Chain A
């Protein structure tokens, strides 16, 4: 199995704090990787760098063989749109869009027709077990339903990898388990690479591999 992500000597400073120190790591295609660490360990910063949301101060990231650390803002936007899906802890849905529109959001900048976008979004919703309530707005949905919409949104562009930042952090344990099962199922059935950041041991154990991070340094590879 080949590597989808390779980082070399990655560093990032946030203000006076050295958030990421000289991180070199790799993620294999189809792998479910957990990056585990305490609050302030640098795990979310590392996720931001790997997902192309932020730029590194030093080092490089190769995603599917392409150097993303040298991309400008516009190139990174296109990279994110075409290659990755992101799932956030607090769902990050747009409150003025309904469920199906939120799922279709990454398609808006494309030239796809409205009907086609919504049809694709409906399919993605079914994939995550949300066939109904697609016309509802985020504030009319439960936390679990909102996170499923967020996962469907991450899937809509058929990404090569999904980055999940504490995806169960805002959910009760029962709902959290279901979301974790969904991520495992997507990894298994679709062969999707999943990089999940968590502080929770139980959550981390669901992954194929765990990378522990402390003070911006990867402790176990």
Chain B
């Protein structure tokens, strides 16, 4: 320690380099994990980990009740097979409709009020109560404000009368957020009896068009793979939807698909981090080894004196190990502090996740400025200090230390006590 304090200028560089490497290992990996976690956030808001949709035809006539091209009908037998997949905790379904009434356009989602999606929607109530009858509906707060709607007022959906039992507040640009929420059976009835809808897609009375699957976090990938086997593509006419999907194909969205989108947005893929950390670690190791070797070379005479007065090579090696360890330890601790500060600062930032149009479809032709339709969802960056990477950084620092000591010990073994006489 005394030796380090007296040569602090030189050792400070090694300590700083180590601190930077440790901080980078911990912070970059914590950031990478935060982005992965951020990709789950849009799904967490609906308590699902997988969403299944089918791509269909673009409605030819936009009057009455129609389906978005990203939400073609899915038949009931397919839905029932999902529950038997290992890792699936819950399955719920809905019917998302575009309703072009004469006075306005509204997005309508039909759900079972008592399944997980229905329960989630009811939990967003800000005024009123959940629907108790088939003729009651919930209205989104922004839609209610736009049209001056209040609870207990009537609302017409594709010519069918409903009473507003409550107003809910969801994020307007969240996954499948709608303007009105009604019972699934009522939505299916609206779809089944809509001539325009039936002219575009063949809709059975019990079809749905969006399926929410809640799976074990550890099994999301395997569940998604099995879902792909169930929902095999059945291309109808080889055409494409406006968003580039093949008509008849299924879209199975998972946090992974969001993650790749976020990663490309922030250029923070796992591969990039691995390359960045590898280059930094190698660079740091070279700087530390060079710096410490330089320090030992400068003290060549001192080591000669020490050997002359009775230090064995082992004693000198222990001296070098002690000096190296203290520097690496100080660098490691400084790196921990630096990364903790960086992570604390990053925790105060937000991350914007773009919800694909397919998961929250809105007819662009209705917007005065179609580009202005917001698909971004902002969340606080879910970053936290990742202890496993603190351990990984420790192992990296230990490896750098071992290489340094090995190189220096080899040099010290070659240093002869008699060399001190040659300086005379």
Contact of A88 among B6, B313, B424 (CB under 8 A): B424
- Is A77's CB under 8 angstroms from B312's CB? yes
Instruction: Bits for B354-366, please: 1 = Cβ < 8 Å to A, else 0.
Output: 0000000000000
Stretch in A46-54, A116-124, A139-147, A171-179 with 4+ CB within 8 Å of B: A46-54
Task: Name the contact of A73 in the complex, choosing from B2, B7, B302, B313 (C-beta under 8 A).
Answer: B313
The answer, yes or no, to whether A189 is at the interface (CB within 8 Å) is no
Q: What's the least CB distance linking B130 to chain A, in Å?
A: 77
Residues in A neighbouring B7, C-beta threshold 8 A: 96
B417 located at the interface, meaning its Cβ lies under 8 Å from any Cβ of chain A in the complex: yes
Check B308 against A53 for contact (C-beta < 8 Å).
Answer: yes
Interface residues on A, range: 20 to 34
Known: A77-B312, A77-B315, A108-B315. 20 other contacts (CB 8 A): A44-B424, A53-B416, A54-B418, A74-B313, A76-B417, A81-B311, A90-B424, A92-B308, A92-B423, A93-B305, A94-B302, A94-B306, A96-B2, A96-B3, A96-B7, A105-B306, A105-B309, A106-B310, A109-B312, A153-B309
Sample 7 A-B pairs with CB under 8 A, ordered by A number: A44-B421, A74-B314, A92-B423, A95-B302, A96-B6, A97-B2, A157-B310
**What chain B residues lie within 8 Å of A153 (beta carbons)?**
309
- Bound state CA distance, A76 and B418, in angstroms? 12
- Chain B residue numbers with a CB within 8 Å of A106 are 309-310
Q: Is B129 an interface residue (CB 8 A)?
A: no
Query: Does residue B107 face the partner (Cβ distance < 8 Å to A)?
Result: no
List residues of chain B with CB within 8 A of the CB of A90: 423-424
Which residues from 20 to 46 on chain A have a C-beta closer than 8 Å to any C-beta of chain B?
Answer: 44
B421 neighbours in A (Cβ, 8 Å): 44, 47-48, 53-54, 88, 165
Is the C-beta of A112 less than 8 angstroms from some C-beta in chain B? Answer: no
Smallest CB separation, B259 vs chain A (Å): 53
CB nearest neighbor in B for A83: B310
Question: In chain B, what residue has the closest Cβ to A154?
Answer: B309
B310, A73: Cβ atoms closer than 8 Å: no
Whether B54 is near chain A, meaning CB under 8 Å from some CB there, is no
Question: Which residue from A77, A92, A95, A165 sits with its C-beta under 8 Å from B313?
Answer: A77
Docked Cα-Cα span, A166 to B421, in Å, equals 11
Contact of B305 among A54, A73, A89, A94 (CB under 8 A): A94
A77, B420: Cα distance in complex, Å = 14
Task: Report the minimal beta-carbon distance from A95 to chain B, rounded to whole angstroms.
Answer: 8
Q: How close is A89's CB to chain B, nearest CB, in angstroms?
A: 5
Give Cα distance in the complex from A68 to B7, angstroms: 37
Q: Which residue of A lies closest to B420 (CB)?
A: A92
Of B3, B308, B420, most A-chain CB atoms within 10 Å: B308
The verdict on B301 contacting chain A, using a C-beta distance below 8 Å, is yes
B159: shortest Cβ distance to chain A, in Å? 93
